[in-house]
Amino acid sequence: MKFKLRRYYLYYLARVSAFKIYLLPRAVSMALAGMAGIGAFLLASKYRNRALDNLKSVFGNTKSDAEIRRIARAVFVNLAKNAIELVNLPKISASNIDSLVSIEGRAILDGELAKGRGVIVVTGHFGNWELMPVTLRIKGYAGSVIGRRIYFDRYDRYLNSLRKTHGVEIIYRDDSPRKILKVLKSNGVLGIVADQDVDSVDGVFVDFFGHPAYTPLGPVALAKVTGASLVPAFMIRAGRRHRLVFEKPIELIDTGDKDADNTENTKRWSDVVEAYIRKYPDQWVWMHRRWKTEKLKF
């Protein structure tokens, strides 16, 4: 009971804070986000240490401890800014979206949609990923995003209310697969954030920063079943603005060896995600336990 009451207390505290943030000018709220991110880095020792450990395991031979610490701190700042921008989603409109987001590779998305089989946009918890579907909806693209429910229903409803101010619809992982197929059959855009280790979904092990990482099979499986294109995309924070970048569609192989093909095709899009994280290491969620599921050895 005490834990449940704490959830409600934190929820209402968050809602009051969000309301106050919404009333502030963007420059002021983003400055506060920077301070909040640094504060979280200093106080949240569990997640700070996990981020530092993950960064050292990947960049320990190429970056100094000071540089790794700087990157980890910047990760917390980026997430704090994401939270501020999430609260302020209702302020974004067709009249101001171009001052906030520039789009690169839009012709790739349009070209794949012209094939009439839908597009699966695969991305990671990178930059401000929540801003991607909002931008696409404002620009006139139809579609949905696959997500998972937040543990506390009130948080989940609030988050979705912010998304729905721009018509962004969430398809939960435990919803009927028909909802997903309907999006692609109607030649829509289906967003999947698929860069985390989730042992409750089907996956394969692929190399990720030199370590075997359990990676969702969903993007490849859906592309194979529906014929939809699999297009990596990333919302990159660039100072006060963002760049939405679309990469070329992943070329899927089909040798007849289903297991080998699934692994290779998953590795192909995962390699693109890794390349962007290497280029912008301060924009990925290094506090996630990306390599928690161990590959069995026989």
pLDDT digit string, tens, across residues 69-107 = 999 999 999 999 999 999 999 999 999 999 999 999 999
- Close Cβ partners of 214 (under 8 Å, ≥ 6 residues apart): 197, 198, 199, 203, 204, 205, 292, 293, 295
**Is 80 part of a structural domain of the chain?**
yes
**Is 292 part of a structural domain of the chain?**
no
**Mean pLDDT value of segment 58-66:** 95
Tens of pLDDT along 19-37?
999 999 999 999 999 999 9
For residue 152, what pLDDT band results from cuts at 50, 70 and 90? confident
Q: Which residue has the higher pLDDT, 257 or 199?
A: 257
Tens of pLDDT along 137-149?
999 999 999 988 8
Closest Cα to residue 192, out of 152, 140, 161, 231?
231
Quote the pLDDT of residue 106.
98
CA distances from 112 to 121, 122, 187, 207, 248 (A): 11, 14, 10, 28, 10
Closest Cα to residue 270, out of 205, 189, 202?
205
**Is 296 part of a structural domain of the chain?**
no
List b or e across 116-149, with b for residues whose CB sees 16 or more CB atoms inside 10 angstroms.
ebbbbbbbbbbbbbbbbbbbbbbeebebbbbbee
Q: Two tokens at 285? A: 């969620």
Tens of pLDDT along 255-275?
999 999 999 999 999 999 999
- Which domain does 210 fall in, by range? 2-283
**Is 31 part of a structural domain of the chain?**
yes
Q: Are 59 and 68 in contact (CB under 8 A)?
A: yes
The residue length of the chain stands at 298
**Mean pLDDT value of segment 241-258:** 97
Tell me the C-alpha distance between 128 and 146, whole Å.
Answer: 16
3-state secondary structure of 52: helix
**Is 289 part of a structural domain of the chain?**
no
Cα torsion 179, 181, 187, 192: sign: positive
How many separate domains does the chain show? Answer: 1
**Is 297 part of a structural domain of the chain?**
no
